[in-house]
Homo-oligomer: A and B are copies of this chain.
Amino acid sequence: MTERLLPENLDFNGPFPPLSRRLRLGVVGGGRISDTQATAARMTDRWEVVAGALSSDPTRAKARGAEWFLDTDRCYASFQDMAQAEAARADGVDAVMITTPNHLHFPAAKAFLNAGIDVICDKPLTNEVDEATALIDLTEQSGQVFGVGYAMSCFPMIRQAREIVAEGRIGKINQIHVEFLQDWMTPDDVADAPHVKWRLDPKISGPTSCVGDIGTHAAHLASFVSGLEMSDLRAEFHVCGAPKSLEDTAFMFTRFQGDVPGTLMATRLAPGNRGGLRLRIYGSEGGLEWDLENSEQLQFYRFGEADRVISRGQGHGVSAATERLIRTARGFPEGIIEAWSNLYTEFAMAVAARRDGVVLPDGWVSFPKVGEGAAGVHFIAASVRSNEKGGAWVAI
């Protein structure tokens, strides 16, 4: 291959480099989250959206594609067609974003991997543990790049938190608490809305609703920042609002590597909470607190010292690695689309590196990968088992 995407003499200490061309991105799934992610991908200027399976209705697929300026012949009505056709093109997509309802994550991801196309897939990775394992196997065999949509882990202050833990600045971790509270399911009739219905249908959403959708974000963040795998949990599911086929609320006790205890909570019926994702990690020397609605600040405590607040920006307690993920000066707020954009930038680096045959140095990019996606599926499955056993402890 004569094309080289990454610069020849790449400085791994500097900012992420521009690529020699924009990578070509396909999109599978036409809902709101695909808009957010496509926007984020465009922001990076390292991706252009060129193909899509945005609806199973061919007319809608084309109409939606037109809004994104896709060529008509690259507006597909099925991901199977798309995988096949794009793989056959010289200018086929470099990677595909999968943002369908949950039950299609697996077949779609598999189809594109088999077609040699890299994948970035929304969470939960799959509805079944076996499927997740199969995706790990496929990527290990092919060496393909597989990203998972745990975008919360791409906020600069989350990266900073992780670095502080890794450096031992809060000492030995003694407990970990995460929660994700929302309120949009509060009205009794919301479950009947078309864009909500599938989230409560076990055939589509999988074995859980709230746990798989938002609980899994909380679980990922806990492990990502602490550097500790969650090993066991006990869970109880609740339907706090109108009757539903799946839980709208779940409470858990958790256990991490080294017997570190914790709690996890997820609900969609907590009026006043919208982006109520909160992380709290405490250790023998200090603590860290972060929440999504104040994503630009990281609370950092060292026992015995004045409290600290680290603000996203350059310097002032922000590390060089964190600075690589910022766009604007401290005090000029970034948000969640920028976090998604960080995910797409790091994913672009990995996709380019694979094509260039470049091995990236450890830790240069930290976007969530298929293994983390599979850990989320195991977490969900364990929570279901525990709940069925009346909240017994189960290994994940």
With both beta carbons as reference points, the residue of chain B lying nearest to A283 in the complex is identified as: B271
CA distance A263 to B254 in the complex (A): 14
Interface string of A224-249 (1 = CB under 8 A from B): 00000000001010101100000001
Taking the complex as formed, is A86 at the interface, i.e. its CB lies under 8 A from any CB of chain B? no
Please state if A238 and B265 are interface contacts (CB–CB under 8 Å). no
Taking the complex as formed, is A258 at the interface, i.e. its CB lies under 8 A from any CB of chain B? no
CA distance A329 to B277 in the complex (A): 14
Enumerate chain B residues within 8 angstroms of A182, measured Cβ to Cβ.
331
Give A237 Cβ to nearest chain B Cβ, in Å. 10
Taking the complex as formed, is A305 at the interface, i.e. its CB lies under 8 A from any CB of chain B? yes
Give A171 Cβ to nearest chain B Cβ, in Å. 9
Please state if A307 and B305 are interface contacts (CB–CB under 8 Å). no
With both beta carbons as reference points, the residue of chain B lying nearest to A18 in the complex is identified as: B67
Please state if A304 and B333 are interface contacts (CB–CB under 8 Å). no
CA distance A48 to B36 in the complex (A): 18
Please state if A331 and B292 are interface contacts (CB–CB under 8 Å). yes
With both beta carbons as reference points, the residue of chain B lying nearest to A35 in the complex is identified as: B327
With both beta carbons as reference points, the residue of chain B lying nearest to A306 in the complex is identified as: B317
Known contacts A22-B69, A292-B332, A306-B308: A175-B287 contact under CB 8 Å: no
Enumerate chain B residues within 8 angstroms of A303, measured Cβ to Cβ.
183, 186-187, 271
With both beta carbons as reference points, the residue of chain B lying nearest to A17 in the complex is identified as: B67
Known contacts A186-B303, A253-B251: A328-B36 contact under CB 8 Å: yes
Interface residue from B35, B306, B315 paired with A304 (Cβ < 8 Å): B315
CA distance A42 to B293 in the complex (A): 25
Please state if A336 and B334 are interface contacts (CB–CB under 8 Å). yes
Please state if B275 and A330 are interface contacts (CB–CB under 8 Å). yes
CA distance A103 to B265 in the complex (A): 36
Please state if B338 and A337 are interface contacts (CB–CB under 8 Å). yes
Interface size bracket, A side: 35 or more
Give A248 Cβ to nearest chain B Cβ, in Å. 9
Enumerate chain B residues within 8 angstroms of A234, measured Cβ to Cβ.
391
Interface residue from B22, B68, B328, B390 paired with A335 (Cβ < 8 Å): B328
Taking the complex as formed, is A276 at the interface, i.e. its CB lies under 8 A from any CB of chain B? yes
Interface string of A13-39 (1 = CB under 8 A from B): 000001001100000000000011011
Taking the complex as formed, is A361 at the interface, i.e. its CB lies under 8 A from any CB of chain B? no
Interface string of A326-357 (1 = CB under 8 A from B): 01111111111110000000000000000000
Please state if A301 and B313 are interface contacts (CB–CB under 8 Å). no
Please state if A311 and B274 are interface contacts (CB–CB under 8 Å). yes
Taking the complex as formed, is A139 at the interface, i.e. its CB lies under 8 A from any CB of chain B? no
CA distance A68 to B48 in the complex (A): 12
Taking the complex as formed, is A115 at the interface, i.e. its CB lies under 8 A from any CB of chain B? no
Give A208 Cβ to nearest chain B Cβ, in Å. 17
Taking the complex as formed, is A381 at the interface, i.e. its CB lies under 8 A from any CB of chain B? no
Taking the complex as formed, is A267 at the interface, i.e. its CB lies under 8 A from any CB of chain B? yes
Enumerate chain B residues within 8 angstroms of A337, measured Cβ to Cβ.
43, 327-328, 334-335, 337-338
CA distance A242 to B316 in the complex (A): 21
> Beyond A45-B69, A182-B331, A332-B336: 12 further Cβ-contacts under 8 Å?
A170-B271, A175-B240, A186-B303, A270-B287, A271-B287, A273-B331, A274-B329, A307-B316, A328-B335, A334-B337, A335-B337, A337-B338
- Which A residues are closer than 8 A to B by beta carbons? 18, 21-22, 35-36, 38-39, 42-43, 45, 66-69, 170, 174-175, 177, 182-184, 186-188, 234, 236, 238, 240-241, 249, 251, 253, 261, 263, 265, 267, 269-276, 280, 282-287, 289, 292-293, 295-296, 299-311, 313, 315-317, 327-338, 390-391, 393
